[in-house]
Structure 1
Amino acid sequence: MAISRKRKADELLSSPAAVNCAPPSPDFFRSLPPRLQEQDNLDYFEAFHVKRRNVMKSPFQDTEWHRLQLDYQLLTDFVTDPRCSISFSRPVILKMLSLFESEDERERVALATLLKGIYDRFPEHRVFIRKSVYDIFYQFNCSSHSKHNGIPVLLTFLKNIVEERESVCLEDEFRVFLLRSLIPLYKSKWLVMFYPYLRNCIAEFIVKDRKIADSIMQGMLRYWPKQGSSREYFFLDAAECFLVEAKLSTDFSSSVVGLLEKIAGCLKSLQFNVAEKALSLLDVNGGLGILIKKNFKFILQIVYSGLKEVAAKHWRPKTKELALKISTALKAIDPVFYDNCYIASLFCEEDEAGMEWMALAREERWTQLEGMAAAKKEWSGLSTNFRQELCG
């Protein structure tokens, strides 16, 4: 099949008519079939299992794929062959982008390959292609009730574009798109479908320009889910990746302090996946080990209370064992300061217990006063009635 396809492409390219035109493909002008109802009814909300990667149990298989595959491969050969100087109109590119909503994953991969070939071959279309892709993400953020199957491959496409750029600093176009479109994707209920691609794409932005890391972390804090949600797992995973790529040493901005406070809160989560992920971020042998060792005192003051609580009260034995292991490794860095944090936590617990006792005593005293007032009011009423009877 591959030999005949290559021979067909060579014959078409060798003809005089193939110098300035491409073979018309009806696939660019067909309408996609309606989405399957059972796929739209799948539950991607916060309770969805965070470790599940294969979302679709039975991926959709287009019965016409064998014919479509030949068309895509033939057109890709025309785009990548230097002997052919073809041109694409903007309506054709827009129609091709609309096909990324196809349910067949093979077609989406073929479209991504073709789009990348057009982007590399024709510089005059690059700005238009980027803005068209941006528009897809903007529309998806505005209509989060419906999913878009092409988000993962489009994120990979953008990651490759940023990776291939020679300039270290990003242009304003990429910065605006990152902050206004990519970061808000973390609030989507379909996050489980594309979050690894989203994390890798944003990490590539940080590699190109580490100054933008602070703005990214501020955006993460803005869309951070409520405590106790399994979606916190995605945010912890992304925070680890971004902190590693940013290569922070000692300069901690308010956004990094906010992330550390969120990590400390996630340690107390009843979702064991979230709690164990937060514990793994504090591992001195992990990706953030260098950051933890250089800023040990600052970080331990923020996370110690949560670390102590999960080691003593968590419902899962394996999570408690992991917390004890992390605590032992942290104590080995600076035992004296670790003991000081322990003593300070005892004083805080005593203060909290004292305040709780005072609150209970105050509430009991108010109850007594209310009872005395009610009894006095009742006796006054009886006295008034007795006087009226005597006078009568």
Structure 2
Amino acid sequence: MSAAISAAEKVDGFTRKSVRKAQRQKRSQGSSQFRSQSSQVELSPLPQLKDATSNEQQDLFCQKLQQCCVMFDFMDSVSDLKSKEIKRATLNELVEYVTTTRGVIVESAYADIVKMISSNIFRTLPPSDNPDFDPEEDEPTLEASWPHIQLVYEFFLRFLESPDFQPSIAKRYIDQKFVQQLLELFDSEDPRERDFLKTVLHRIYGKFLGLRAFIRKQINNIFLRFIYETEHFNGVAELLEILGSIINGFALPLKGEHKQFLIKVLIPMHTARGLALFHAQLAYCVVQFLEKDTTLTEPVIRGLLKFWPKTCSQKEVMFLGEIEEILDVIEPTQFKKIEEPLFKQISKCVSSSHFQVAERALYFWNNEYILSLIEENIDKILPIMFGSLYKISKEHWNPTIVALVYNVLKTLMEMNGKLFDELTSSYKAERQREKKKDLEREELWRKLDELKLKTTLAEKQNSAHSVLNAHNSTSAK
């Protein structure tokens, strides 16, 4: 049955709803890679930390950390139930302990803390159950062992945020290898895990100055692999969100490596097929760069124009939204450098038969700052836009677009009535010339058709005469 369905899907190119539903149900079961190597270990509850004396608490704290290093297979829902519950309760206790008690994070505890965290969260992520997985349509695979992992992440955050936390000691354990493994987890399909990872990595970036350049470099590498090799990475949006905060903290003037990251990595990311999943975060990063250094505006806009979508209307709408965000922060001097190529593209978008693209482009004229820039440069922009706008006002299929175009034409006419009248006359004259050329072309084709008809008739007559002459010649013999 499944083979027949697959064959049918290949023929019609559409996935049946029943199949999609089945896939979603399958994916919701989870796909944890935890396979306990200590499956024979049965945990025994340790005394409560609050009941121990101050002298005993530190040893008991470390014992509980070591106990939580034992892993269990959550894909088997009936195995080790007692031990799983003991570990869950212990993790809860550890979270509360480091949150409410001062002086517990001493130097000797760092190794056990990081070992417990590493044992629980670092693992090989499973391949996707569905090779045709669509993040916008399908439900993600949820981590089966989340009841434990969630508490480990919460403990990790409380550890990093504790007043007793000392980066100078922690850097012996939270090093480049640790961060590399942490970044690999961003490919998890479980959005809950990626959300925790985002906060954890942000805290690490803030507290470990020596790891900052390494973190930026590794994110750069992840994005390059995503663009040019795999075209798939689940945590792009979360990494971009972290980058937005990082970019906001860059000192001025910007370093060359930061500018190169913008032009060589962030701009090409606009070509990704799954752009809709992370475009808001990507656009925010781009605008953050431009607010830091306005001279980057020209290469950014030219880069966006270079990668402008040719066949995807949804992506065009996203690009137009980002362009408006950029124009909101653009300097008038930078606007002059890109006005011609930019408005040529906007003119094409306004002329789009897809009404959402045309509508989004026309909404630029509702933005007061963009209107002021257009008015300052009306002598350059109006000639670029006029032909498309005038043609749409007469020919577009969508009445909403026609109404918007009339409003835009009215606004442009108020900005420079004289130039508007000149362009109107010029456009009408050009249309008349085109109509005249069309008539001349039609007349030429008509004459050619007549000539061809006459030639064909003459050839037929000559052929008939030849046949008749041949027949007469044969009869005479």
Say yes or no: does 1:271 pair with 2:354. yes
1:211 to partner: Cα distance = 1.1
* Distance of 1:58 and 1:387 partners within structure 2: 85
- Structure 1's consecutive aligned runs of 4 or more residues displaced over 4 angstroms after TM superposition are 1-4, 9-12, 19-22, 56-61
Identity of aligned residues (%): 24
Matched with 1:46 is none
Q: What is the match of residue 425 of structure 2? A: 343
| Counterpart position of 1:72 | 153
SS for the counterpart of 1:37 is coil
The residue identity in structure 1 corresponding to 2:394 is: A
CA contact under 8 A between 2:266 and 2:282: conserved in structure 1? yes
Return the alpha-carbon distance in structure 2 between the equivalents of residues 225 and 16 of structure 1: 55
CA distance in 2: counterparts of 1:270 and 1:33, whole angstroms: 43
Q: Which of 220, 228, 231 lines up with 1:134 in the alignment?
A: 220
1:32-91 alpha-carbon deviations (Å, 9 max, x no partner): 34435297146xxxxxxxxxxxx4575655443342222112222333445422022322
Highest RCO, 1 vs 2 (Cα 8 Å, sep ≥ 6): 1
Decide whether aligned partners of structure 1 residues 353 and 238 sit closer, same or farther in structure 2, where only a CA change above 3 A counts.
Answer: same
Does 2:238 correspond to 1:153?
yes
Q: 2:179 aligns with which of 57, 79, 93?
A: 93
- 8 A contact 2:244–2:288 mirrored in 1: yes
The worse-fitting range, judged by mean Cα deviation, of 9-18 and 357-366 is 9-18
Q: 1:303 Cα deviation (Å)?
A: 0.8
Q: Which amino acid aligns with 2:274?
A: W
Could you tell me which residue of structure 2 aligns to residue 118 of structure 1?
204
> CA separation of 1:250/1:165 partners in 2, compared to 1, >3 Å: closer, same or farther?
closer
Change (3 A) 1:222 1:3: same
| Matched letter for residue 125 of structure 2 | L
Counterpart position of 1:51: none
Q: Which residue of 2 aligns with 1:49?
A: none
- Alignment correspondent of 2:108: 17
Q: Compute the displacement of 1:28 (Å).
A: 3.5
Tell whether the 8 Å contact from 2:98 to 2:158 is kept in structure 1 after alignment.
Answer: no
Contact 1:19 1:83 in 2 (8 A): no
Q: 1:14 to 1:136 in 2, by over 3 A?
A: closer
The gaps in structure 2 that reach 5 residues or longer are: 1-90
How far apart are the structure 1 equivalents of 2:311 and 2:428?
A: 25
Question: What CA distance in whole angstroms lies between the structure 1 residues aligned with 2:335 and 2:362?
Answer: 23
State the secondary structure of the residue aligned to 1:252.
helix
Q: State the AA in 2 paired with 1:30.
A: R
Answer whether contact 1:267 1:275 (CA < 8 A) is retained. Answer: yes
Q: Is the 8 A contact 2:98 2:105 kept in 1?
A: no
Write the letter of the residue equivalent to 2:363: S
Does residue 104 of the first structure (1) align with residue 205 of the second (2)?
no
CA distance in 2, matches of 1:301, 1:388: 70
Paired residue secondary structure (1:288) = helix
Give the Å deviation of 1:276. Answer: 0.9
How many residues were matched structurally? 376
Shift of 1:18: 3.0
Q: In the alignment, is the contact (CA less than 8 A) between 2:350 and 2:389 conserved in 1?
A: yes
CA RMSD of aligned residues (A): 2.6
Q: Which amino acid aligns with 1:241?
A: E
Q: Distance in 1 between matches of 2:371 and 2:227?
A: 35
Partners of 1:12 and 1:68 in 2: how far apart? 25
Q: Offset of 1:155 from its aligned partner? A: 0.9
**Hey, what's the Cα distance between the residues in 2 that align with 1:20 and 1:230?**
50
CA distance in 2, matches of 1:369, 1:299: 48
Aligned residue number for residue 410 of structure 2: 328
- Of stretches 11-20 and 318-327 in structure 1, the one that deviates more from structure 2 is 11-20
Equivalent position amino acid for 2:186 in 1: F
Instruction: Verify: 1:291 aligned to 2:382, yes or no.
Output: no
TM-superposed deviation, 1:179: 1.8
Q: Deviations over 1:239-294 (max 9, x none)?
A: 112222222348623x43112011111111122111111111133x4341221121
Take 1:230 and 1:29, find their aligned partners in 2: how far apart are those partners?
37
1:226 to partner: Cα distance: 2.1
Letter in 2 for 1:302: I
Alpha-carbon contact 2:362-2:408 (below 8 Å) kept = yes
Question: How far has the Cα of 1:228 moved from its partner?
Answer: 7.7
In the alignment, structure 1 residue 171 sits paired with structure 2 residue 261: no
Q: Report the Cα offset of residue 298 of structure 1.
A: 1.6
Which residue pairs with 1:371 in the alignment? 453
Separation in 2, partners of 1:160, 1:16: 31
Secondary structure at the counterpart of residue 267 of structure 2? helix
2:248, 2:262 → 1: CA distance? Answer: 14
Q: Identify if the C-alpha distance between structure 1 residues 248 and 317 changes in structure 2 by more than 3 Å, giving closer, same or farther.
A: same
Amino acid at match of 2:179: I
1:151 shift after superposition:
0.7
Q: Quick one: structure 1 residues 141 and 19, their matched pair in 2 at CA, closer, same or farther if it must change by over 3 Å?
A: closer
TM-score, scaled relative to structure 1: 0.87
Given that 2:95 and 2:158 are in contact with CA atoms closer than 8 Å, whether structure 1 keeps it comes out as no
Report the secondary structure of 1:282's partner residue.
Answer: helix
**Which residues of structure 1 form unaligned runs of 5+?**
43-54
SS in 2 for 1:165: coil
Separation (CA, whole Å) in 1 of partners of 2:187 and 2:312: 33
AA partner of residue 207 (structure 2) = R
Quick check: 358-367 or 200-209, which moved more? 358-367
Q: Which amino acid aligns with 1:31?
A: T
Which whole-Å CA distance do the structure 1 matches of 2:256 and 2:414 have between them? 45
Structure 2 partner of 1:8: 98
2:123 aligned partner, one-letter code: R
Corresponding residue of 1:217? 301
- Matched with 1:52 is none
